[in-house]
Structure formats: structure tokens, C-alpha cells
Chains A and B, each alone.
Chain A
Amino acid sequence: MLAELFEYQFIVNSLLAGIFASISCGIIGTYIVTRRMVFLSGGITHSSFGGIGIGYYFGFNPVIAAAVFAVFSALGIEFLSKKTDIREDSVIGILWSLGMAIGIIFIFITPGYAPNLMTYLFGSILTVSNLDIILMFILSVVIILLFTFFYRTILFVAYDQEFAQTHNLPVNFINNLLISLVALTIVLNIKVVGIILVISLLTIPQSIANLFTNEFKNIIILSIVIGLVGALMGLLISYQVNIPSGASIIFSLVMFFIIAKLFQIIKQKILLRINE
């Protein structure tokens, strides 16, 4: 069965998409989870829908329009919450819904029917284009390089910004760079699982990894592996049972999480008993 699957280009593309999604989400998700930026990332995700709508209306590639839109929203949130006294979570809430509203308005006024709107909301790894794959590949390479060479700087700014500032580290540059990468990672992975589900690719593998290791670098590596297994399993289930791939990928990941958590609880119980 597997051999015949590989003859189809869309299967190969979806496998590649799964691999690059695991890499970019594994690394950036670890940053998001450890910096407790999950809500911020949810805001960026949904506000990027505004970019998709604008792309539709003006006839740009919606993914590229969404990428530009998301990066500006992310930098906007950073700027507004730092330079004004509006609370950060309120800024996120506002941009979250503003982006969705802009998206809905532009899609509504675009003449004709928006055929693959659903793929942006719920994702469809089977329809990723060659351009999507190339963009995801470039993003993964950039993220790997940055996290390899600037690992310590990124880690220390993430751990304690104020201290890093007293040592004159490039705190603002790192923050802006990373928030832009968060935005790009979200947008380029929207095709895989959709706006509504993408946050789970950035948090579930990390939460599973964090059950087994307490070190930033190891969480990254484990998350990539877990994300990859989840993507492959979700694809297989989606093919076998004929359900949308985004949902089956997330479902597989959550199952992993439950199994891992149970495994951990049982292990602790056994250890306790041995100690008694």
C-alpha cells in the first residue's frame, strides 16, 4: 500500500509538509511554550486571516498576504504592549478579532465563491502547493540556522529579559526577530492543519516533550520527533478513514499526550511503591 502512495505527487508533498511543519513548529513552539506566549500566538494566528482575505480580494497569493499581515500584527502587539499602557492581553484580543473581521469583510466583498476558504480554516495537508513546500523548507532552514548559531542569546533573552538588558544584549532585536518567526511559522503551517488548529502543533508536542525532559534543547528535539510521528499517523488515519487530515493529526497528537501522561503517572506510582 505504501509504495503505491508515493507515486502520487500530493502524497509526497504532504509528507514533506509534515516534515517541515514538525521542524518549524517543534523549534518555534518550544520558544512559545517556554515564554508563555500561547495566547499571543493564538492572536497572531487569527489575525492572519485578515491577510488571507486581503489576498483573496486583491488577487495576491493568500499565504504571502497572510505572512505579511501576521508579521505586522505580531510586531504591532509587541510595540503596543511595550510603549503604551494598554494591557498586552487586551491588545492581543483586539488584534485577534480585528484580523478575523478584516478577513470576513474582504472575502465577503470578493466577487464569486471563495473555493478553498475552508482549507485555511481547517487545513488540508493534501493540497499544499509546491510554493508552500518551498516556503516551508526555507523557513525551517532559517529557523534551524538561527537557533543553532544564536542559541545562547535566544535562550538567555527568553529566560530573563531584564538581566539580558543589563548586560547590553540585543534584547529588542531578538524579541522582534523571534516574534516575526512565530508569525511566519504560524502562517506557513496554516495550510497543514488550519487557522483553528495550528496552535496545537505549537503546543502539544512541547507539552509531551516537557513530560520527559526539562531542557530547552531536548524539548526542541523531542517535539520535532513527536510532531513528525503525529503528522504521519494523522495522515495515515486520514487516508484510511477518509477524514480531514488536520483534525486527524491533532487527534493523534492529543492521544500521544494522554498516553504519555498516563505513562508518567504510572511510572511515578511505581517509583513511589519501590521507595516505600
Chain B
Amino acid sequence: MAQTPTAATFDATLDAHGHAAAHDDHDHKPRGFWDRWVANTNHKDIGTLYLIFSGVMFFVGGGMAMLIRAELYKPGLQFFDPAFFNSLTTVHALAMIFGAVMPAWVGLANWMIPLQVGAPDMALPRMNNFSFWILPFAFTLLLSTFFVKGGAPAGGWTLYPPLVLQSGDGFPMAIFAIHMMGASSIMGAINVIVTIMNMRAPGMTLLKMPLFVWTWLITAYLLIAVMPVLAGAVTMLLTDHFFGTSFFSASGGGDPVMFQHIFWFFGHPEVYILILPAFGIVSEIIPTFSRKPLFGYEAMVYATASIAFLSFIVWAHHMFTVGMPLAGELFFMLSTMLISIPTGVKVFNWCTTMWRGSLSFEPPMLFALAFLFLFTIGGFSGLMLAIAPADFQYQDTYFVVAHFHYVLVPGAIFTIMAGVYYWLPKWVGRMYNMTLAKWHFWLSAIFVNVLFFPQHFLGLAGMPRRIPDYGTQFADWNMVSSLGGFGFGAAQLLFPYIIWKCVKSGPPAPAKVWEGAHGLEWELPSPAPYHSWQEAPDAAVLAHGAEH
């Protein structure tokens, strides 16, 4: 008996059954562990799987970071052979980028995109399941390289030849793992695009979509464009090593620098893939807690699209010292400087959203504000890095390490946490302990700066990156940075605890968890029903929910 719910019957259905969708829904979740958690095709459960995986990898990568900071605490080599230290830095980066940040974004996309566009699920549910399950296999393979002859790859996550071709038995395992991660990302991106383009509720035009959906749409196009490029690059490494090609060896007529061009053609859009969904989430949290609509919605969409387009023409700013012709250096310097313009536009729009608002500071807002301050600092160091002749002093030093950790940790990671603190009550139907979450925030925000700000000074003082030991003039700031690292790492233990306590025994959460929240997801009860939006929301619900 499918009657299209009007606003009135919709509310009645909600009241009568306590959940949304067609009135004959029984909100049954699959019984049995295998059916619910292994063979499932439900976007909510797959989203949960991605987020749990991401959390585990965050602690794996984070553990490696703690080991790195322990070795760098004092000058002299205290704990690790330098080759093992190089493996730690390499796998730390691979785990964080491909294991923690990217799966977190896919997990949040899975949970929220169908809810936010009024769709019953993702467009391709079985491919969705496959995309997820590739990842635990890929990372088991990658992490097991620590136990083979030659150890884990130690040439940096950037895998430059000829060095990476000196790797041991772990090399083909790592390449295969990277191929698998790439395939997972490409399939996830296809799913996102098809869902957004085909399954929006009637009346939700593109320019009415929440900004998280917009930024994910654009991110998905970036993924499809560049993950195959990475696949090509690492396959060429494989054939150079095993099948007698010489793409990257001068003695065979090839060029090691060509790898760098191909890698960074992937690599630069990749870093925007890592941050664009964060821009979307912040664009929803700040308006909610300012009780005021996002300022300049269309400008934000165009700025995001501009950033995505520009991200394809700046790649060689990672290669300023490689010996490029002057014209090349000049082009990439100017294009890189240009990308600060749309990024600045976004920062100004967020600030103006808060201006003349009515602000409150719950945990999602705290993390979003920390993003705004600290990502902007990362942006400033990025602008300095864009200046090619100055970059001769910064390249491959701790100044670069400071820059990218500012944009990735208070940038991407804090926003993932903000998104979880924002939407967790919707997912679980329970509130978490806000006091404890605020402790998590303040400890993280303070220690992240103690950890990474001194690294700017270390780079300027002359400390290169990827070294396990250093001259004594670098000792003081390294000690401070390591202490910050230990504090930051310890503070993160609060996060899974807060989530677990919430799931187990948090007090019930209402449908509209946050007073100023707008969006279709807040029209559904908390927890969101297992099958939601089986009928598309009608115009009235849409108007109410899609106001941004």
C-alpha cells in the first residue's frame, strides 16, 4: 500500500511507528553477524564498517608516529635501525592517507549522502560492499611487509625510483596493496557520483544540495581522474623492477624524474581529495552552530570547483629542486599561488557565516573552529612554499612536514572528528558525553600545536626530513615536538571511549539533535531507521529540511 507521504501523513507515520518511510516498513536489520556485518549492502552499516576501519588505521598509523617521535626525542639513535625508521615514516604516511583519512571520508559519504539527498541507499549497494572489503585485505598485505625479508617499503610514501627499487620482498606486496586501495577508491567514487546524479529526491536541484554532498561529488570526479594515474605509476615501478623496462632509469633511456611528474599529477589532486570533504562538513557545522545560513552558498560551490580544477595544474610545486627549466618553475609557482584565491574565498565565507550569528560551542563546532584557525595557518605556510626560490630552502625540510601536518591533522582529521561528533547521535540515537568530548577537543587542539608548530622552526633552522637523527642545534624543538606528540596521541584514546560509551548507554537523542541544524537527515528520527527514504521526501519536507 504505497501512498506517497504528504507532510501530514509523514508526521503521522512518524508518530505511529516512530520511524519514517512507507507505513509497512518493519525496520528489520539482518539477523546474524555474517548477514549484518559481512554480506550487507546497507549504506549505514557499510558506512559504519568504513569508519571503524578508519579508526583502527588511525591508531596503527598513530602508533608509528609515536615511535617516530620517540626516536626523534633526543639526538643520537636510541631505538631503531635507520632503515627501519625509514619504513616507519613510509608506512605511517600510507596508513594515514589511504587507511585513515580516505576511508573515513567514504564512510561519512556512505552514511550521509543518501540521508541528505533523500535516497533509500547508495546506487550500487553490492559494489559498495566490495569496495569496503578490499581495504582490510589491502592493509593486511601492506602491514605484513614488516615481516618479510627486506622489511616494509622504506623509500617514503612517495615511492621515488631508483631508491624504491632497492626495496626487498615487501615491494611487490606494497604495490599490489596500493592497487587494491586505488580500486576501492575508484569504485566508491563511481557509487557516489551515480547516487548523487540519479537518486536525489524530486525538487532537490544541484544548487539545493548540502555542501557535504557537493564537495563529495567534486572529490569523486577527482578520484576517478587520478587514482588510475597512481596505478600506472606504480605499475611502471613494478615492470622496471621485474620485467626489464627502464621507464625510470637513465641507463635504459628513461628518467627518474618522469616518475615524479606522474606521481605528483596524482599526488596533488590527492591532497585535495583529502580535504574537500572536510570543507563540506565545516560548511554544515558552522551554519548550524551560528544559527545562520551558510554565507555565499553558490560562491562556495564555485570556489570548490575552482580548487578542484586548479589542483590539476600545480603538481610540480613538489619538484621545485628537481632541475626544471625556468619556464616550468615559473608556471608552477604562479599556478600554485593562484590556488590560494578560491581557498581564501571559502575562509572568508565561513567567517562571514559566523558574523552576526548566534554562536554556541558544542564539540562539533569546537573542532570546526579549530579547523578554521589551524587549516588557515597551514594555508599560509603553503603560500610560502609556493614561492619557488624560497622553496629551495624549505623543500624536504621540516617546514614542509609542518605545513602538511597542519592541513591534514587539524584540517582533515579534526573535521572527521567534527563530523562524527555532529552526526553520531543521528546514527546511534543516543547523545555522547559532551564534557568528555570537550576534554578530547581541548587536549587535541593544544597538543597538536605543541607537536607541529615547532617543526616550522626546525625546517627554517635547516633540519631535513626523513632523518632518524640530527645535529644538536635541533634538539630543543625536537624535544618539544615529541612531548606534543605523546600528549596528542594519548588524548586520542578518549575518542573511541566516548563513542563506545555513547553506543552502550548514552541518553536518547531527538531527531533534530542540534537546535540550528538544517538538512534532510534531521527530518528523520534518531537513530535513522535501517531503511530510510524508501519514499522520497515530498516538497514540504524537502523545503523544511533542505533549507541551508
A, B: real partners: no
Chain A residues in the interface with B (C-beta under 8 A): none
Chain B residues in the interface with A (C-beta under 8 A): none
